[in-house]
Chains A and B, each alone.
Chain A
C-alpha cells in the first residue's frame, strides 16, 4: 500500500538554514495493515503524513501510495489522488464550522465527479460512525468524540483504501479516545489500511506495527505477526 524509498525532506528555517526532518527514510506498509508512528514532538511525524497523503510533494526520494507514484504528479492529479486514494483525520478535526455534520461529510463530493447518491452515501457513513441521528447538527453542537467521528466519515467518503491519521485522539479524553480507537480497529478489520501518528499508548497497542521516527528515519519498534489481528476486545 505504501512504498517510500530514501525520502529526504528539508525545511528552510527562518534564518535560511536547512533543517532536515526526514533523512533517507524508507517505509513499506502492506495493504490492510494498521501502523502506529510514534516519536517526540517535532520529529517529523506530521510531515511524513503530508508526504504520504500528497499534500506536500516537495521532497527527494520516491513515494508510492496505492500504486500511485506521487512525485511529479500535476496538481490536478494530486488533488484527484487525495480525493479518492487517501482519507485524512486530524487531531483538531478540522470540520467546517458553518456546515452541518452531513455537509462536512459531503465536502469531498464537491471535488469529485457528480454522483446521484452522494447524500445517501454520506448518510450511510454517518450511520456507520454512529451519528445517523445527528447528521444535521453543526460541529459546535457535537462533542469532541462526535466531531472526530464526523471527520472520519468525511475521510471515508472518497472510498480510500488508506487512512492517514495525525494524533486522532490527541484532543479527546480517555473514554472518547477509546471509542475512536475502537472505530479505527473496526475499519481496519473491514480491510482498511490505517497509518496513525500517535502519542497514545492504547492506539499503539491497537496497531499491528509500531514505528518510531528517530533522527529522520523510521525504526521498527514492534511488529505483531498476525497475533492480535482485529485487536483485543
Chain B
C-alpha cells in the first residue's frame, strides 16, 4: 500500500477515534515513561558510584604482597624491585606504578589560619608514596616529585576525603567548604617518627617537615596524605625501616580484556590482588542494578498492560468498523492493506505514547534533580544529576512504545484483515 495513502487513512481514523487513541497512547506513555525514568535513575546512580564514590579504572589492577607469608617462605610474595620488574614484563602490562607507605608513624599539629577561620588540631597521619606517573594530571602546582631534604613535601589529598570533609566534617564544625582548587598551596607541618598513640614507641628522633597540598586525586590514599614515592623511600631509609619492598603496585593493562589473565599471572607469582574497592563498587553497583531491574520489570508490566489495553480497544474499534473495512475491500483494499492500516494506526499511537512517555521521564528527572539540589541536605557524593540518559535509552523508550503498540495490534489487525466483506456489506 502507498505510504501517502496509508498515512491519510491512518490520520482519518485516528481523528475519529481521538478518545480511544488518547487513552491507548496514555497507557504506553505511562509504561515507557516509568521505564525510562527508572533506567535513567539506575544508570545515573551507577555512574555516581563508579565515577565518584569508587572511582575505578577497569584497566587497573592493584597488586599487594601476600598477606600470609607462606609465599615469602617460598621466595615469592614479596614486592621488591625484582618482583616489580617481573610484574612490569607480564604480557598485557602497559605500566606499573609502585607505592610505598611511610613505615614510621606521623602526626600533624596545626594551629593557625584556615581559609578564613582559625583551626587548631592535631592528629595521626598516614602517608603513602606513589609514583608521579600514577597521579599525573592531578597535580595543580609545581612538580610531584621528591623535593629533597628540608624542602616542603608536595602532598595530594583524596578527592573522596575532600568530599566527606565538605559534606559532613566541615558543616558540623562550622568550617569552610573547600574545593580542590582552594586547598592547593595550603601548607601544614608533619612530624614523622612520632605518635600520639602511647603504645607506639617510636625509636630514633622525630623529624618535622613542612608539606604543601598540590592537588586532589582519585588515586590518593583516602585516610592520609599521598606523597612522591621517592620521598616516602627517603623517609623510610632515614628512619632505618624497610625502604626496599613496596606496599603495592598498580598495574595498568593495555586493555580491560587483558585484566583477568593479568590477575592470574600475578597470583601465580604468589602475590595478591587488592580488589576491595572494585568489589565494593561491584556490590553497590549490583544493588543498584537489582533495584533498577525490579523497577524496570514493573514498568515493563505497565507496558504489557498498555499493549493489552490497545489490543482491547483496537478489537472493539475493528469490530465497530467492520462495515467500513468491507467498503475498503470492495473498492480495492487487499487483506494486507487492511492489516497495514490497523497496524499503522497503532504504531502512530505507540510512537506518540513512547515519545511522550520518554519526554515526561526526562522532564521528571530534571524536576527531581532540581528538587534534590534545592531541598535535599548536602550529603557526601551528592551528584548534580541522579540520572543518566544515554541516547540508546531515549531511543529505546520510543521504540518500546512502538513495539508495545504493535504487539497490542497484532491480533486485532489479523482479525480486521479476516473481515468477510460479503457478510458485512450484505443488506
Contacts and interface: CB of A to CB of B under 8 A. Distances in A.
B426 to A, nearest CB: 5
Interface stretch (A64-72, A78-86, A125-133): A78-86
Contacts of B333: 79, 110-111
A154 interface: yes
B332 A83 contact: yes
A94 B332 contact: no
B12 A109 contact: no
Interface residues of A, number: 36
B97 to A, nearest CB: 69
Interface string B1-23: 11011101100100110000000
Interface string B314-341: 0000000001101111111111110000
B425 interface: yes
The B interface, classified by DSSP as helix, strand, loop or mixed, is helix
A136 interface: no
A85 to B, nearest CB: 10
Nearest to A110: B5
A111 B337 contact: yes
B30 to A, nearest CB: 29
A55 B337 contact: no
Residue among B5, B326, B336 with the most chain A CB within 10 A?
B5
Nearest to A88: B330
B336 A53 contact: no
Contact of A114 (B2, B330, B334): B2
Contacts of B148: none
B12 A98 contact: yes
A116 B329 CA distance: 23
B9 A98 contact: no
B332 A91 contact: no
B422 interface: yes
Given A79-B337, A94-B323, A109-B5, A53 B330 contact: yes
Interface string A101-124: 001000111111110000000000
A157 B4 CA distance: 18
A155 B332 CA distance: 11
A173 B44 CA distance: 73
Interface string B411-427: 00000000011100111
Contacts of B331: 82-83, 88, 107-108, 111, 154-155, 157-158
Contacts of B332: 79-80, 82-84, 108, 111-112, 158
B334 A75 contact: yes
A8 interface: no
A99 interface: yes
A78 to B, nearest CB: 7
A90 interface: yes
Residue among A50, A99, A155 with the most chain B CB within 10 A?
A50
B5 A79 contact: no
A112 B332 CA distance: 7
A120 B334 CA distance: 25
A43 interface: no
Nearest to B331: A108
Interface in B326-379: 326-337
A103 B327 CA distance: 13
A75 B335 contact: yes
A142 B391 CA distance: 53
B328 to A, nearest CB: 7
Contacts of B8: 110
A96 B327 contact: yes
A24 interface: no
A94 B425 contact: yes
Nearest to A77: B334
A110 B327 contact: no
A149 to B, nearest CB: 16
Contacts of A107: 327-328, 331
Interface of B: 1-2, 4-6, 8-9, 12, 15-16, 323-324, 326-337, 420-422, 425-427
Given A79-B329, A158-B331, 4 more contacts: A46-B426, A82-B332, A103-B12, A113-B2
Listed from nearest, the 4 A-B pairs whose CB atoms lie closest are A83-B332, A79-B334, A110-B5, A111-B332
14 contacts: A46-B426, A55-B421, A55-B422, A76-B334, A76-B336, A82-B330, A91-B427, A94-B425, A108-B332, A110-B1, A110-B6, A112-B332, A158-B331, A166-B426
